[in-house]
Amino acid sequence: MACYLLPLEHRAVVLVLNLRSVSINLMDCWGEIEGKRVHDPSFHLFHHNHHHHPSDPYGKLMKAATVCKAERCIWVPGPVIVGAGPSGLAVAACLKEKGVPSVVLDRSHCIASLWQLKTYDRLRLHLPKQYCELPLLALPSCFPTYPSKEQFVAYLQAYARRFDIRPVFNHKVVSAEYDERIGLWRVKSMAAQDGGGVEYVSRWLVVATGENAEAVLPAIDGMEDFKGTIMHTSLYKSGDIFEGKKVLVVGCGNSGMEVSLDLCNHKARPYIVVRDSVHILPRGILGLSTFGLSMWLLKWLPMRTVDRLLLLASRIMLGDTARLSLRRPLLGPLELKSLSGKTPVLDIGALAKIKSGDIKVRPAIKRLMVHGAEFVDGRLEEFDAIILATGYKSNVPSWLKEREFFSEKDGLPRKPFPNGWKAEQGLYAVGLTRRGLMGVSMDARRIAHDIEQSWKAGATQPMTT
């Protein structure tokens, strides 16, 4: 067995243990490390000023080697961050600013894969750009108030370059667990190209896979019988391929409304399923963004009072949506968002199309048929295609072996905002509190500060072996 040190391009110097056999001769490995300490210049990059950082003591290092079951075992001095979307990038940047290295893992081949690969062409940020910036770098002043998908992706790419964040791509994390025997996290990933296993060992684990890691595909009676096209919005790009076709959009959130509008603009005939009540608000009120105005009012008024003001403004600007089969929930939009995470729809034109009849509203689906659908009100209609705007979910329960902090039901932290960013034993979560990109920035700063304290405290401790 070879045991040696080398620096990765993301500047975290790691210990790589090529495990070719089940058993490990610990004393031979220890002797080889000591030989490297004398003869290999890269060793001294790992041990600044010849002191051992407490996050990478020899004792824990060698214990980690004895339990590593992957083909390769990599020791990471800083935290392992799972996910290279906005959340993972934000944490890595905040850590880099504080001098703490990290390793970012992502199953895709690019950063922000959801934004780049699974969003429709016409997508823009739903909130003004000042509420969507990541820490330490503002969105360009030349960008419009609501940047396009392409502009936001360009910003994220520039962000990664600015902070020299180089994720390990095409590595899907299949398991992560805290090993009590060594007091470290063991994160196992599988390489997409050769299927080889790599295990990363670290004191800290940051979960940054997001609330939108996996598409939600509902089980609709008769779905296997439908002969037309069925796709999730993660595969939808543009309505041009549906020109002249009758399309049923299932889901009335922001994505469902916007896809319906896009279909309408491409001369398709969209129908939208509205199963539950929904709040629809204008994107702007009196020249101000509705979100920004809400945030300002909340500084001075109770949430329920702000909700009443928003609903009054919406009634004046949009009319009574209940007449369009769009019932409003009993709770106000902000209170509902706070309690359930359900985001109100910010209208950008779909409501006008509903009023004109260009977009038709239908109730819940009872069952699908070969060429159409039966609705709960008894109507039968034919459709050429069905688009599922049914959202996404966290995939944390599928790979993280931890059940105290994260809920098995939805894969989100059990603790409500603002306490859903830190667990025990060096475990953190970023961007999983249903607070959008603003929540990501808040979580990232807190996590980086907390890890920095441990990092600095450990750096003052004497060397131990």
In this structure, the answer to whether residues 87 and 224 fall within a common structural domain is no
Same domain assignment for residues 100 and 159:
yes
The CATH number of residue 118's host domain is 3.50.50.60
Q: Which two tokens stand for residue 176?
A: 């992560």
* DSSP 8-state code for residue 406: B
Quote the number of domains for the chain.
2
- Final residue belonging to a domain, choices 365, 391, 417: 391
In whole angstroms, give the CA distance from residue 13 to residue 36.
14
- What pLDDT is stored for residue 19 in this prediction? 35
Pairing of strands 427-429, 385-388: unpaired
CA distances from 232 to 58, 220, 255, 262, 386 (A): 49, 13, 11, 15, 9
Same domain, 333 and 426: no
- The answer to whether residues 272 and 257 touch, using CB atoms and an 8 Å cutoff, is yes
How many other β-carbons are positioned within 10 Å of the β-carbon of residue 247? 23
Long-range interactions of 38-45: CB distance < 8 A, separation 24+: 40/4, 40/5, 42/5, 42/6, 42/7, 42/13, 43/5, 45/7, 45/13
SS3 of the chain: helix, strand, coil, percent, to 5: 35, 25, 45
Tokens 């101000």, located at residue: 288
Looking at the fold, whether 178 and 303 belong to one and the same domain comes out as no
- pLDDT tens, N- to C-terminus, the chain (465 residues): 333 333 333 333 333 333 333 233 333 333 333 333 333 333 232 333 333 444 444 445 545 555 565 568 899 999 999 999 999 999 999 999 999 999 999 999 999 999 999 999 999 999 999 999 999 999 999 999 999 999 999 999 999 999 999 999 999 999 999 999 989 999 999 987 777 789 999 999 999 999 999 999 999 999 999 999 999 999 999 999 999 999 999 999 999 999 999 999 999 999 999 999 999 999 999 889 999 999 999 999 999 999 999 999 999 999 999 999 999 999 999 999 988 888 999 999 999 999 999 999 999 999 999 999 999 999 999 999 999 999 999 999 999 999 899 998 889 999 888 888 999 999 999 999 888 899 999 999 999 999 999 888 765 444 333
285 in the same domain as 200: no
Check whether residue 432 and residue 319 sit in a common domain.
Answer: no
For 375, the token pair is 């609705």
Distance CA(73)–CA(197), nearest Å, equals 9
- Asked whether residue 35 falls in the same domain as residue 92, the answer is yes
Question: Do 387 and 398 sit in the same domain of this protein?
Answer: no
- Three-class SS of residue 215? strand
350 and 374: one domain?
yes
Strand partners, 191: 171
- pTM for this model (two decimals): 0.84
Residues 65 and 200 reside in one and the same domain: yes
CA distance 336 to 340: 6
Q: Any idea how long the chain is?
A: 465
Quote the pLDDT of residue 40: 34
What pLDDT, on a 0 to 100 scale, did the predictor assign at position 60?
Answer: 54
How many Å apart are CA 299 and CA 407, to the nearest integer? 31
Nearest CA-CA partner of 420 in 405, 398, 410: 405
Q: Are 350 and 261 in contact (CB under 8 A)?
A: yes
Tell me phi and psi for residue 381, to 5 degrees: -140, 150
- Report residue 340 as tokens: 């359930």
Give the residue carrying structure tokens 């069925």: 230
Assess whether 207 and 280 both reside in one domain: no
Q: What range defines the domain where residue 314 resides?
A: 216-391
Nearest-CA neighbor of 53 among 203, 182, 164? 203
End position of a domain, from candidates 336, 369, 391:
391
End-to-end CA distance of the chain: 22
Place of tokens 């603790």: 415
pLDDT of residue 456: 84
Residue that terminates a domain, selected from 370, 391, 412: 391
Residues 224 and 204 reside in one and the same domain? no
**Beta partners for residue 83, in sequence order:** none
